[in-house]
Amino acid sequence: MSGYILKRMLFMVPLLLGITLVCFFVMHLAPGLPTDLQTQMNPKSTVEMKERLKTMYELDKPVHEQYWSWLKKLSRGDLGISFSSDHRPVTAKIMERLPITIILEFLSLIIIIAIAVPIGVLSAVHQDSIFDKITGVLVFIGFAVPTFWLALLLMIFFGIHLGWLPISGLRSLNYEYLTPWAQFIDLAKHLVLPVFISAFGGLAGLSRYMRANMLEVIRQDYIMTARAKGLSERDVIYKHALRNALLPAITILGLSIPGLIGGSVIFETIFAIPGMGQLFYMSVMARDYPTVMGILLIGAILTLLGNLIADVSYALADPRIRIS
């Protein structure tokens, strides 16, 4: 098993190189330079200044040289210095935001599992019941709802109309003066909408998938055997069937990670959450190449790791699967 994991990790290296190569070239071949954005707004800027900026950011060199020097820095764990006015190292900028995004994604994964699995199982067990039909319609709509629109509606309803939940940021202005318990409540209140919105995209997919799995498992011979030997329906469903239906869902969760990360751009921007998605959006708008490249790389690593963890845990959970 450890050999397999090692091999997969090694395979990730060329994959990551390919991804960074594509991103780097696409970004740099696109017309427009980050220095344009910084000088256009300044009426005092001269051509000379523009050139000096270009030299400072090494943008005057050919693209392949820029990529090579980016790679060399990367091998030392250095993602370069941000082009934005704070001129901080990209690694530091990402690291202070990454935990927020990861915690949010993790919470929404838990929500997805906690809601989608029971829905999928129940609608399969009671196939064609009213519950199944209603969830079927909801799932179908769930696939089609633009999540950012749902975020707006929930903000209007719960945040503005009812005034129950805060609609931006992670903390209230008076956070520092609250008791620890009140701080926790404050944080939790700020998290409700972002976590729900982030989870929403995955809910429909996983519940439909669980339903299909469960329907297939229920028709298997070993389920009939379990019934035949007189087990209660409860045991048949929740001990024998559920376990087998849950297994393939692990893979789906691994595959849903790119979507979650991509979605973080939208909901972190909407809810003004200082996470990686918001940083990405701001860096993209400011044409901050080093930061954009850094986040793309981290996003790709997270995705690949997620896939690996999914594959490995699938193998660990199902002894019938042998990986070599």
Chain residues in the site for other proteins (CB under 8 A): 15, 18-19, 23, 26-27, 30-32, 140-141, 143-146, 148-150, 152-153, 155-156, 160, 167, 212, 258-259, 261-263, 265-266, 269-270, 280-281, 284-285, 287, 292, 295-296, 299-300, 303-304, 307
Please identify, using beta-carbon distances, which residue of 150 and 178 lies nearer to other proteins. 150
d(CA 17, CA 9): 13
Nearer to other proteins, 115 or 296 (CB): 296
User: Closest distance between other proteins and the C-beta of residue 214, in Å?
Assistant: 12
- Give me the least distance between CB of 46 and other proteins, in Å please: 25
Q: How far apart are the first and last CA of the chain?
A: 8
Contact 70, 24 (CB under 8 A): yes
| 23 membership: H or E segment, kind and range | helix 2-29
CA distance 148 to 154: 10
Query: φ, ψ for residue 312 (rounded to 5)?
Result: -65, -45
Closest CB 152 distance from other proteins, rounded Å: 4
For residue 273, give both structure tokens: 């959450």
Residue number, 248 or 259, with CB nearest to other proteins: 259
C-alpha of 1 from chain center? 27
159 or 183, CB closer to other proteins? 159
Give the shortest CB-273-to-other proteins separation in angstroms.
15
Q: Is 291 exposed, middle or buried (0-12, 13-18, 19+ CB in 10 A)?
A: buried
State both tokens at 190. 């700020």
Transcribe 119-174 into DSSP letters: HHHHHHHTTTSHHHHHHHHHHHHHHH--HHHHHHHHIIIIIIIS--S--SSSS-TT
| CA–CA distance, 23 with 28 (Å, rounded to integer) | 8
Could you give the 3-state DSSP secondary structure of residue 287?
coil
The smaller minimum CB distance to other proteins, of residues 106 and 143, is found at: 143
> In whole angstroms, how close is the CB of 320 to other proteins at the nearest point?
24
CB of 135 to other proteins, least distance (A): 14
Nearer to other proteins, 125 or 226 (CB): 125
Minimum CB separation from other proteins for residue 316, in Å?
21
CB-nearer residue toward other proteins: 80 or 226: 80
How many other CB atoms are there within 10 angstroms of residue 5's CB atom? 14
